[in-house]
């Protein structure tokens, strides 16, 4: 960010749409770095952390959450207009999040199910990522995002370079970590072969299969993975549910583009 | 009557709370006629899309209701599903769950005390601003918060949305040697927690009293966290309890005539969950060191039934609860032997299950209905903030009325006062989108870009 080359302190803003707060909390979870970061940037807008709010434009805006209301569909344009660089953080902002399960259902029925006075609930039929509405400079994946990756992204934008966030699959991280493949060794259904790295391959390290919370990796080969899930006991419904949780529309899109690739899945 | 006698005060975007909300105060001829904590957090429909999912999924799915207290959601979900399936987990697993939950309590209470609440008492906009004059204190708060996160990361895999919890227990349990490095960090945290109690007890607390009935879980011989019986200390001093399965009969939404809001009421009365309620109901069960901290904080002796009803002083109770959670975590680690199996088998069964646990900000209730294959056919989540909304609004009304009657407070003062009244209760607005009617009238849009 060229803001750093001048004398002016770069400004950071954090915005929230439909979400759980977990990704912006990840910034406050940088306990060892938070005060140092606050010395390098002016935190100009971060409602969860501060009641002092400075107007834009902002050098870097982090946006958590998906677009689910007519108001937020307008608001993302205002945020984009106020942000020199806009980075979306987390599965909600990058893929619609778990609330995108409404995209496959009747939202009016959902409304009647949950709320006693459904007429008060103003909501869109779909939950969509910010990139469906405005240009986004970078998308950081994860439900939730990884703290180290968040620091890398903020540091990279401050330094005016591209974030070092590889889009390979979780399998690479298991290999690096030395975790025995849960599918090969135990026949545990695992989405690691098709899931974007970033978490450090947590689930297999805890003896469970990856559940895809970082969304699809850069090269997804569902036709190779699905027979393995079936072999390991998942019927069609269970397979659909497995892919349709935290990043459902993104896995669907990856599935449509899916073709055999050099990135092999566990055999 | 001055020109201020009639006015509408609106704060479009509350700060230093979890999630997004706004507040509206309407004053007519010097009388507060409306005090409203409005929730404009968009609805996300968890109860709807949980239907049709497997009974193994709610712990991971409902964690996403709240990034601040995902463990609370995982624990209430597990409790309700295990209840539906008629399974009681092994005691060693219950103990490990309590240890994980202590991590969330330490993290979340330290977050609230230092980053959200303390700036109010010291006239700062944020902890970052506070660090310019109170660097050592803010660093201590971050260190405490990190100790909680270290527990969550070791037992759960990560601090937000831990991956290691499953129905019946855990995917993997740690060896004794893995927990050892935590002991050193927790011993440091224990000192930090005591220093926190001493620090916050020096703050100035306005006089105030919340009259609501206090609702918290109670358990024999321990300060209830991961299980217990819903218990009520009523405003008239009487005490009662009821089985978790009666929760929705006792805690109900009531449509108030003067408002469009549906408020949650306990037996028709306004009620409050969270630190104040827990301390009043379970204070006697605090460990000796936490009891000592309560006395040091000026809260009185919990063994003699000390009750704190001043919501400003909730920061003291949270500080005492940090002392307790650190002490309890050390106790569990000290006695830890890895469970014989990481989880108790939970075969699916048709039925309805109820679960309640103590999230840092109050009692969190889940109910699931399962069919014989274990598919969820109905789900209900009742978060603490949805229950507390009525009591919070009552504080808003009374605090504002008092400030107007006493010295004709101006808008800026009322705004600060009302925001403080809300923060006192550590509301989690991300969670409270369930159960409430959302006036999604988004006055002024809450927009701020």
pLDDT at B133 over 50: yes
Q: Is-contact B327 B194, C-beta < 8 A?
A: no
> Is the minimum CB–CB distance between A234 and chain B shorter than 8 Å?
no
Among A47, A27, A141, which residue's Cα sits nearest to residue A93? A141
Exposure letters B127-137 (e unless 16+ CB within 10 A, then b): bbbbbeebeeb
Task: Find the closest chain B residue to A203 by CA distance.
Answer: B163
Tens digit of each residue's pLDDT (9 = 90 or more) over A112-162: 777 766 666 778 899 999 999 999 999 999 999 999 999 999 999 999 999
Quick one: average pLDDT of B316-345? 97
Quick one: average pLDDT of B401-426? 90
Q: Would you place residue B1 in the very low, low, confident or very high pLDDT band (cuts 50, 70, 90)?
A: very low
The helix/strand/coil state of B235 is coil
Facing residue for B18 by CB, picked from A21, A38, A205 = A21
> Is the minimum CB–CB distance between B163 and chain A shorter than 8 Å?
yes
Quick one: average pLDDT of B380-397? 90
Tens digit of each residue's pLDDT (9 = 90 or more) over B258-291: 444 456 889 889 999 999 999 999 999 999 999 9
Q: Is-contact A182 B198, C-beta < 8 A?
A: no
Q: Would you place residue B430 in the very low, low, confident or very high pLDDT band (cuts 50, 70, 90)?
A: low
Among B144, B60, B70, B80, which residue's Cα sits nearest to residue B104? B70
d(CA B27, CA B229): 41
Interface probe, candidates A15, A20, A89, A130, chain B, greatest B C-beta count within 10 A: A20
Q: Please provide the average confidence, as pLDDT, over all residues in chain B.
A: 90
d(CA A145, CA A160): 21
**Which residues, at least 6 apart from A235, have a Cβ–Cβ distance to it below 8 Å?**
none
Cβ separation of B67 and A21 shorter than 8 Å?
A: yes
User: How many CB atoms are closer than 10 A to CB B349?
Assistant: 17
Q: What is the ipTM of this complex?
A: 0.94
Cβ separation of A48 and B166 shorter than 8 Å?
A: no
Beta bridge partners of B266: B251, B269
Interface probe, candidates B19, B44, B59, chain A, greatest A C-beta count within 10 A: B44
The full set of domain ranges for chain A reads: 2-159, 170-257
Q: Please provide the average confidence, as pLDDT, over all residues in chain A.
A: 92
* C-alpha triplet A207, B62, B344: angle, nearest 5°: 45
Task: Kindly list the distances between the CA atom of residue B60 and the CA atoms of A96, A104, A245, B344, B421, in Å, as whole numbers in the listed order.
Answer: 17, 20, 10, 18, 33
- Beta strand B21-28 with A83-89: parallel, antiparallel or unpaired? unpaired
Task: Find the closest chain B residue to A37 by CA distance.
Answer: B128
Among A233, A239, A161, which residue's Cα sits nearest to residue A194? A239
Task: Report the length, in residues, of chain A.
Answer: 267
Cβ separation of A51 and B15 shorter than 8 Å?
A: yes
Among A33, A152, A56, A97, which residue's Cα sits nearest to residue B161? A97
Q: Which helix (H) or strand (E) holds B213?
A: strand B213-218
Provide the shortest C-alpha distance from residue B124 to chain A (in Å): 9
Task: Find the closest chain A residue to B380 by CA distance.
Answer: A114
Q: Which helix (H) or strand (E) holds A139?
A: strand A138-140
User: How many CB atoms are closer than 10 A to CB A227?
Assistant: 10
d(CA A127, CA A24): 19
Task: Find the closest chain B residue to A48 by CA distance.
Answer: B16
What is the pLDDT, as a whole number, of residue B268? 86
Provide the shortest C-alpha distance from residue B77 to chain A (in Å): 17
Facing residue for B161 by CB, picked from A22, A34, A99 = A22
Facing residue for B125 by CB, picked from A50, A72, A117 = A50
End-to-end CA distance of chain A: 44
Quick one: average pLDDT of A6-13? 87
The helix/strand/coil state of B158 is coil
Q: Measured between beta carbons, which residues in chain A are less than 8 angstroms from residue B448?
A: 15, 45, 47, 53
What is the pLDDT, as a whole number, of residue B256? 52
Burial of B192 (0-12, 13-18, 19+ CB in 10 A): buried
> Is the minimum CB–CB distance between A261 and chain B shorter than 8 Å?
no
Tens digit of each residue's pLDDT (9 = 90 or more) over A109-120: 887 777 766 666
Q: Is-contact B304 B297, C-beta < 8 A?
A: no
> Is the minimum CB–CB distance between A84 and chain B shorter than 8 Å?
no
What is the pLDDT, as a whole number, of residue A263? 44
What is the pLDDT, as a whole number, of residue A120? 65
The helix/strand/coil state of A212 is coil
d(CA B313, CA B299): 9
- Lookup: tokens for A27: 């910034």
Q: Measured between beta carbons, which residues in chain A are less than 8 angstroms from residue B260?
A: 120
d(CA B119, CA B107): 18
Cβ separation of B15 and A211 shorter than 8 Å?
A: no
Residue with tokens 């919890």: B165
Facing residue for A50 by CB, picked from B126, B166, B172 = B126
Provide the shortest C-alpha distance from residue A97 to chain B (in Å): 9
Facing residue for B146 by CB, picked from A24, A31, A113 = A31
- C-alpha dihedral sign at B412, B417, B420, B421: negative
Exposure letters B248-272 (e unless 16+ CB within 10 A, then b): eebbebeeeeeeebbbbbbeebbbb
d(CA B320, CA B113): 11
d(CA B269, CA B254): 10
> Is the minimum CB–CB distance between A63 and chain B shorter than 8 Å?
no
Cβ separation of A47 and B64 shorter than 8 Å?
A: no
Q: Is-contact B53 B61, C-beta < 8 A?
A: yes
**Which residues, at least 6 apart from A78, have a Cβ–Cβ distance to it below 8 Å?**
B447, B449
CATH (residue range A2-159): 3.40.50.700
- Lookup: tokens for A92: 């909600």
Provide the shortest C-alpha distance from residue A25 to chain B (in Å): 7
- B-facing residues of A in 119-148 (CB < 8 A) are 120-123, 127, 143-144
Q: Tell me, what DSSP letter sits at residue A67?
A: B
pLDDT at B18 over 90: no
- A-facing residues of B in 121-150 (CB < 8 A) are 125-129, 131, 135, 138-139, 142-143, 145-146, 149
Q: How many helices (H) and strands (E) does chain A have?
A: 12, 5
Task: Kindly list the distances between the CA atom of residue A152 and the CA atoms of A145, A148, B216, in Å, as whole numbers in the listed order.
Answer: 12, 6, 42
Task: Kindly list the distances between the CA atom of residue A242 and the CA atoms of A192, A211, A229, B380, in Å, as whole numbers in the listed order.
Answer: 12, 7, 10, 22
Tens digit of each residue's pLDDT (9 = 90 or more) over B135-153: 999 999 999 999 999 999 9
pTM of the model: 0.94
- Lookup: tokens for B177: 């040697």
Residue with tokens 């009421």: B265
d(CA B155, CA B149): 10
């Amino acid at each position: 960010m060229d803001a750093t080359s001048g004398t002016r302190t770069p400004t950071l803003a954090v915005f929230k749409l439909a979400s759980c707060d977990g990704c912006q909390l990840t910034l406050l979870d940088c306990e060892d770095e938070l005060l140092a970061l606050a010395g390098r940037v002016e935190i100009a807008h971060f409602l969860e952390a501060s009641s002092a709010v400075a107007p834009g434009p902002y050098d870097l805006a982090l946006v958590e959450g998906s677009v689910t209301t007519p108001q937020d569909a307008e608001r993302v344009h205002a945020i984009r207009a106020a942000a020199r660089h806009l980075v979306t953080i987390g599965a909600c902002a990058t893929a619609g999040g778990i609330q995108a399960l409404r995209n496959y259902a009747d939202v009016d029925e959902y409304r009647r199910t949950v709320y006693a006075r459904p007429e008060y609930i103003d909501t869109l039929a779909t939950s969509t990522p910010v990139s469906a509405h405005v240009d986004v400079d970078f998308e950081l994946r994860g439900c939730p995002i990884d703290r180290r990756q968040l620091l890398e992204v903020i540091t990279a934008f401050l330094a005016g370079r591209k974030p070092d966030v590889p889009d390979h699959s979780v399998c690479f991280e298991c290999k690096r970590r030395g975790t025995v493949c849960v599918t090969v060794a135990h026949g545990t259904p695992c989405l690691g072969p098709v899931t974007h790295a970033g978490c450090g391959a947590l689930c297999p390290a805890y003896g469970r299969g990856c559940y895809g919370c970082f969304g699809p990796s850069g090269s997804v080969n569902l036709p190779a993975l699905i027979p393995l899930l079936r072999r390991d006991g998942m019927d069609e419904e269970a397979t659909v549910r497995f892919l349709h949780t935290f990043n459902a529309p993104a896995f669907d899109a990856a599935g449509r583009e899916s073709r055999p690739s050099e990135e092999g899945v566990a055999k | 009557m001055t020109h201020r006698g009639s006015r509408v005060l609106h704060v479009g975007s509350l700060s230093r709370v979890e999630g997004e909300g706004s507040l509206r105060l309407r004053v007519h001829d010097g009388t507060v006629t409306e005090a409203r904590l409005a929730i404009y957090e968009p609805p996300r429909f968890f109860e709807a899309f949980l239907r049709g999912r497997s009974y193994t999924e709610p712990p991971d799915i409902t964690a996403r209701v709240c990034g601040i207290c995902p463990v609370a959601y995982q624990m209430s979900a597990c409790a309700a599903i295990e209840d539906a399936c008629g399974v009681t987990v092994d005691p060693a697993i219950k103990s490990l769950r309590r240890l994980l939950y202590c991590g969330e309590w330490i993290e979340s209470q330290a977050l609230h005390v230092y980053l959200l609440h303390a700036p109010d008492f010291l006239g700062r906009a944020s902890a970052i601003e506070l660090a310019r004059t109170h660097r050592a204190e803010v660093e201590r708060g971050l260190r405490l918060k990190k100790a909680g996160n270290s527990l969550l990361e070791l037992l759960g895999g990560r601090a937000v949305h831990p991956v290691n919890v499953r129905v019946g227990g855990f995917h993997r349990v740690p060896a004794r040697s893995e927990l050892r490095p935590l002991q050193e960090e927790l011993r440091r945290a224990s000192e930090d927690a005591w220093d926190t109690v001493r620090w916050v007890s020096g703050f100035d607390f306005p006089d105030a009293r919340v009259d609501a009935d206090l609702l918290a879980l109670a358990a024999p011989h321990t300060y209830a966290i991961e299980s217990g019986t819903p218990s009520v200390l009523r405003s008239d001093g009487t005490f009662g309890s009821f089985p978790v399965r009666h929760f929705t009969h006792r805690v109900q939404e009531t449509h108030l005539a003067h408002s469009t809001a549906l408020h949650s009421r306990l037996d028709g009365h306004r009620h409050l969950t969270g630190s104040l309620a827990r301390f009043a109901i379970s204070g006697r069960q605090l460990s000796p060191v936490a009891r000592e901290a309560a006395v040091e904080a000026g809260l009185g002796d919990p063994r003699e039934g000390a009750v704190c009803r001043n919501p400003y002083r909730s920061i003291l109770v949270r500080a005492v609860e940090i002392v307790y959670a650190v002490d309890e975590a050390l106790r569990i680690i000290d006695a830890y032997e890895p469970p014989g199996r990481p989880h108790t088998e939970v075969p699916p069964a048709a039925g309805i299950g109820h679960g309640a646990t103590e999230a840092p900000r109050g009692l969190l209730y889940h109910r699931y209905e399962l069919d014989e294959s274990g598919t969820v056919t109905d789900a209900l989540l009742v978060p603490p903030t949805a229950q507390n909304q009525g009591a919070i609004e009552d504080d808003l009304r009374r605090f504002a009325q008092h400030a107007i009657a006493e010295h004709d407070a101006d808008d800026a003062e009322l705004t600060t006062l009302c925001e403080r009244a809300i923060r006192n209760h550590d509301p989690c607005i991300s969670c409270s989108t369930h159960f409430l009617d959302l006036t999604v009238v988004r006055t002024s849009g809450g927009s701020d870009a």
